[in-house]
């Protein structure tokens, strides 16, 4: 398996988000119910304030890690990424806010999928230290004509 499955040059082919809302650079791992991404915090990011990446950006990074898994899977069948919406956050803990130049390593694990709702557990690590964790409920909007 490649060390990086999807890179920042083509990441938007696998997620419905477009600049400036893209909060992942690479899909590093996607197998079974587990997905891992990387994201470097840059100065021009819309969620950076005074050199610090803010809470909404961390939440969006976790959500996009879940989204890229779905996009990666549907692309195998020639379909476009599906739009998802964060329906609920549970047990969100942000231990530390990363700075410009830091690289987030985010892992999302699917706990359950039923009737267009995906329940995931996600966490982000920066420089070997967990900086955030949560459980997230994501609603997937599937087009009528898709047989996926």
Residue from 120, 144, 146, 115 nearest 133 by CA: 120
Chain segment 39-77, per-residue pLDDT in tens: 999 999 999 999 999 999 999 999 999 999 989 988 888
- Per-domain residue ranges for the chain? 11-141
B/e letters for 40-66, b = 16+ CB within 10 Å, e = fewer, are ebeeebebbeeeebbeebbbbbbbbbb
Chain segment 14-44, per-residue pLDDT in tens: 999 999 999 999 999 999 999 999 999 999 9
- pTM for the model stands at 0.91
Chain segment 85-103, per-residue pLDDT in tens: 999 999 999 999 999 999 9
Residue 72: C-alpha distances to residues 93, 124, 125 (Å): 28, 20, 22
DSSP bridge partners of 124? 106, 132
Report d(CA 13, CA 112) in Å as an integer.
25
Instruction: Classify 11-141 by CATH class.
Output: alpha beta
């Amino acid at each position: 398996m490649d060390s990086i499955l999807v890179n920042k040059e083509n990441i938007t082919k696998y997620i419905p988000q477009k600049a400036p809302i893209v909060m992942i650079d690479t899909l590093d791992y996607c197998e079974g119910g587990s997905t891992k991404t990387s994201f470097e915090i840059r100065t021009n990011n819309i969620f950076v304030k005074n050199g610090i990446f803010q809470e909404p950006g961390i939440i969006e990074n976790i959500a996009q890690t879940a989204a890229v898994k779905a996009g990666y899977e549907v692309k195998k069948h020639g379909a476009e990424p599906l739009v998802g919406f964060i329906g609920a956050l549970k047990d969100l803990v942000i231990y530390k806010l990363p700075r410009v130049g830091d690289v987030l390593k985010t892992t999302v694990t699917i706990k359950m999928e039923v009737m267009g709702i995906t329940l995931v557990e996600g966490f982000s690590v920066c420089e070997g230290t967990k900086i955030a964790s949560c459980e997230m409920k994501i609603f997937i909007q599937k087009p009528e004509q898709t047989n996926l």
